[in-house]
Structure 1
Amino acid sequence: MNEFDAYLAKLEEIQRPRMTEVLQWVHKEFPELSTKIAWNQPMFTEHDTFIIGFSASKKHMSVSPEVAGITHFAPKIEAAGYDHTKNIMRIPWEVDVNYDLLREMIQFNQLEKADYTAFWRK
Structure 2
Amino acid sequence: MSSQEIDDYLGRLDEVKRATLSQLRSDILRSLPNAEEGLSYAVPAFRLSGKLIAGFSAASKHLSYLPHSGTVLSSMAASDLEGYQWSKGALRFPVDRPLPRSLVKKLIAARRAET
TM-score by length of 2: 0.86
Cα drift, residue 35 of structure 1: 1.0
Query: Does structure 1 retain, via aligned residues, the 8 Å contact 2:37–2:46?
Result: yes
Aligned length: 112
Cα drift, residue 67 of structure 1: 1.4
Question: For 1:91 and 1:35, how far apart are their aligned partners in 2?
Answer: 22
Gaps of 5+ in 2: none
Relative contact order, CA 8 A, sep 6+: which one is greater? 2
Q: Aligned letter for 2:43?
A: Q
Name the SS of the counterpart of 1:15 in structure 2.
Answer: helix
Cα drift, residue 58 of structure 1: 1.5
Bigger Rg over Cα: 1
Cα drift, residue 15 of structure 1: 0.8
Candidates 13, 20, 29, aligned match of 1:27: 29
Question: For 2:19 and 2:65, how far apart are their aligned partners in 1?
Answer: 16
TM-score by length of 1: 0.82
Name the SS of the counterpart of 1:67 in structure 2.
Answer: coil
Q: CA RMSD in A?
A: 1.6
Segments of 4+ in structure 1 off by > 4 A? none
Name the SS of the counterpart of 1:55 in structure 2.
Answer: strand
Candidates 46, 55, 72, aligned match of 1:69: 72
Gaps of 5+ in 1: 114-122
Identity of aligned residues (%): 25
Task: Find the counterpart in structure 2 of residue 83 from structure 1.
Answer: 85
